[in-house]
Amino acid sequence: MATFVDRVRLQVVGGSGGHGAASIRREKFKPLAGPDGADGGRGGDVILEVDASTTTLLEYHHKPHQRATSGGFGKGDMRHGARGEDLILPVPDGTVVSTEDGTVLADMVGIGTRFVAARGGSGGLGNAALSSPKRKAPGFALLGEPGQERTLVLELKSVADVALVGYPSAGKSSLIAAMSAARPKIADYPFTTLVPNLGVVEAGQHRYTIADVPGLIPGASEGKGLGLEFLRHIERCHVLVHVLDAAALESDRDPVSDLDTIEAELAAYASGLDEEAGARVPLMERPTVIVLNKTDLPDGADMADMVRERLGERDVPILDVSAVSRKGLRELSFLLGELVEQARAALPAPSAAPVVLTPEAVGEKDFEVVIEQYDGDTAFRVKGDKPERWVRQTDFRNDEAVGFLADRLAKLGVEDKLYAAGAVAGSTVLIGPGDDAVVFDWEPTMVGGAELLGRRGTDERLEDHHRPTREQKREEQKARTAARMDRLAAMEAERKAGHWADPAEEDGPR
């Protein structure tokens, strides 16, 4: 038998984006034809989806860490990296997704409902996307961003039409077994049922689901017994059924006192729910049925006769039933079916959720500089989405990429803010949150080694910056002519001075 788990702590991580490629196109007779490095692929998302065949969160109890696949790396010749595949995690209908501090993120009701639990990281840009008129051949590419990482709490609130509540051993599991095809564990000791049981009942044209809430005792709403752990399963029900043990063996118990105790616990628990109920009827105002169980026993029948008049003061239906002899079960199933149909008809028509557009705040700061202590010395931490994202995308092994980062930070105004905060050359600067920040000694107007490469982002082999004017060409021609005439005059002067020998005279007559 599969174990029922209705609350898990799940860590989800989106896929990382693939790195961009730094590549130069090469062709025959055209060795440097410009950049052709493509972008990396986006990482896959982690998505929760309501699945009809999933009834428990047991899978994530055993595997609390889930990660989507990463995007592929970009390649040369403009071959973009493949997008990472999304990871679809099936969850039961009625799963509530919240953060560790209790903030509700999604209430997943309805088959096919989806919630993106963790988004994949963006792929890095290749050098083809980074090229510009001033940076025609970038020798670097941007790195892919890591995927979103979150810790979520999944809590299952059963989507049942009818909820059975009552003391332990009141016979709730026996009723579900007798009215539906569910086969829960049944024994003659308290707290036999440790998890909610869910069954489907068909009564004529009526079809509805029924569930029990185990372990309700005095103080359940405060955490005693098992009640607080499973009271969440009554929040979505349409009808409440109080199952009272008419043949209880304890001398200090009777059906009326049991009912008062359970109602007090439900009221205490419901006090924090009605504000969040939305379109639902408040828990204590929903249709209620009182069931006197085990009336097939002589003591049970006598007790039912004794308390029926007192219970009748509540103006709710009261039925005598027996899960063993099946006494009154037909009447109970049809009554519950009618109440469920009435409750369903009273529900408002479902409407599509409005699309909410949240524009960015006008004048919002892109970053801020905070002064703090780091290793016993004063440091300046730069906080902001843009600087932190740019740092994650930078390959610090590439001098040109570091120089590109410096240009972006200077253009954003980071250097001006550092000056204003009191930073000087050599000050410790951190960019990023916590211990994952990048730490460096600040040098104003950082060059990053690009002085060895000419102008940043350029390739001297692809450009000829010297183009003489017509006047310069004319002057060069005159200079060459004058130099030639000077050489000829020098040679003639040497000849007349006798520095040159006549070959005919040197040979003489033979």
Does 194 carry a binding-site annotation?
Answer: yes
Does 112 carry a binding-site annotation?
Answer: no
CA dihedral 386, 391, 395, 396 (to 10 degrees): 140
Does 169 carry a binding-site annotation?
Answer: yes
Does 173 carry a binding-site annotation?
Answer: yes
> What number of H helices and E strands is found in the chain?
12, 18
Does 165 carry a binding-site annotation?
Answer: no
Strands 87-91 and 46-50: parallel
Does 22 carry a binding-site annotation?
Answer: no
Does 213 carry a binding-site annotation?
Answer: yes
Residues in the chain: 510
Count of CB atoms within 10 A of residue 198's CB? 20
Q: Which residues contact 371 (CB under 8 A, 6 or more apart)?
A: 378, 379, 380, 381, 421, 422
Does 195 carry a binding-site annotation?
Answer: yes
Does 191 carry a binding-site annotation?
Answer: yes
d(Cα 193, Cα 183) in Å, to the nearest integer?
12
d(Cα 447, Cα 438) in Å, to the nearest integer?
18
Dihedral sign computed on CA atoms, order 27, 30, 31, 33: negative
Helix 414-421 vs helix 399-412: crossing angle, to nearest 10: 70
Read off the amino acid at residue 433. P
Question: What is each CA distance from 414 to 379, 384, 388, 457, 459, in whole angstroms?
Answer: 15, 11, 12, 21, 28
Does 37 carry a binding-site annotation?
Answer: no
Strands 318-320 and 149-156: unpaired
Does 132 carry a binding-site annotation?
Answer: no
Does 370 carry a binding-site annotation?
Answer: no
Closest by CA to 295, choosing from 260, 262, 331, is 331
Does 131 carry a binding-site annotation?
Answer: no
Does 127 carry a binding-site annotation?
Answer: no
Does 193 carry a binding-site annotation?
Answer: yes
Closest by CA to 423, choosing from 406, 408, 405, 442, is 442
Does 192 carry a binding-site annotation?
Answer: yes
Whether residue 86 contacts residue 45, with contact meaning beta carbons closer than 8 Å, is answered with yes
Residue 502 phi/psi, 5-degree rounding, is: -90, 120
435 CB burial (10 A radius; 0-12, 13-18, 19+):
exposed
- H/E run at residue 208: strand 206-212
Does 113 carry a binding-site annotation?
Answer: no
What DSSP assignment string belongs to 471-488?
Answer: HHHHHHHHHHHHHHHHHH
Closest by CA to 141, choosing from 155, 124, 154, is 124
Count of CB atoms within 10 A of residue 436's CB? 10
Does 97 carry a binding-site annotation?
Answer: no
d(Cα 155, Cα 509) in Å, to the nearest integer?
126
Residue numbering of the annotated binding site: 166-173, 191-195, 212-215, 293-296, 322-324
| Binding-site residue positions for GTP | 166-173, 191-195, 212-215, 293-296, 322-324
Q: Which residues are annotated as a binding site for Mg(2+)?
A: 173, 193
